[in-house]
Amino acid sequence: MLSEETSQKLSNLYSAVLCDALDRLGFRQQGMTSTIRPLDPGMRIVGTARTLLSVRKPGMSDKPYQKELEALDLLKPGDVIVFATGDDLSAGVWGELLSTAAKVKGACGAVIDGLTRDAVAICRMGFPVYARGLSPYDSYGRSEVMAYDIPIECGGVSVQSGDIVFADYDGIVVIPEQALTSVIESAVVKVSRERIVDEEFRKGRKVAEVFAEHGVL
């Protein structure tokens, strides 16, 4: 779980500047694909990844949702469900009731490289969910969670439980746990420099001159 201080520092940042910081530190594949979008533009997520992996699996299981339920019961405050489906678009693997259960346990959002359902109800409860789209279909008989808390690939990014997830309207960024301090420090410096550059632009100065001085755009 992120400390309150670290969570606050991240909350003052945004996905673009975090991607810039990660780029400069050599982590150049940390932004998820642009097809995973928030159900509502105002949704933001700052928390710690808890991974799930589902696969397409036609046929009715004798123990539906077993691994998924286990994973949800292990959620802790500050967790973010990062749900890899292998880009399966056969059904909604997330919905209102799972959002309710996760929210009550203190989870702060879900990121899914597949589909969700119950979008209006999820938005009403204010639980941030990012997904590739919507479907009224249930996952039962179509896909099944096979494992959780394992390394996965979601939205083109390698994720493991404990990584930090930051999401806003621009996109979703995954920060490796070991790089978090360096990423925040770099991002804070860049934000400060961006503010200076913004002030210079407002004075009408030439863009090329300002860039030559500060190296920020």
Looking at the fold, whether 117 and 17 belong to one and the same domain comes out as yes
Looking at the fold, whether 123 and 22 belong to one and the same domain comes out as yes
What per-residue confidence (pLDDT) applies to 144? Answer: 94
Looking at the fold, whether 91 and 189 belong to one and the same domain comes out as no
2, 108 Cβ separation under 8 angstroms: no
55, 25 Cβ separation under 8 angstroms: no
Looking at the fold, whether 44 and 81 belong to one and the same domain comes out as yes
> Any residues with CB less than 8 A from the CB of 110 and at least 6 apart, and which?
80, 81, 82, 83, 94, 98, 99, 102, 116, 127, 128, 129, 130
Looking at the fold, whether 113 and 192 belong to one and the same domain comes out as no
| Mean of per-residue pLDDT scores for the chain | 94
34: domain range?
4-175
pLDDT digits (tens, 9 = 90+) for 82-131: 999 998 999 999 999 999 999 999 999 999 999 999 999 999 999 999 99
Which has the higher per-residue pLDDT, 9 or 200?
Answer: 9
pLDDT exceeds 90 at position 195: no
Looking at the fold, whether 25 and 86 belong to one and the same domain comes out as yes
User: What residue type is assigned to position 111 of the chain?
Assistant: V
Looking at the fold, whether 168 and 195 belong to one and the same domain comes out as no
208, 197 Cβ separation under 8 angstroms: no
Looking at the fold, whether 118 and 32 belong to one and the same domain comes out as yes
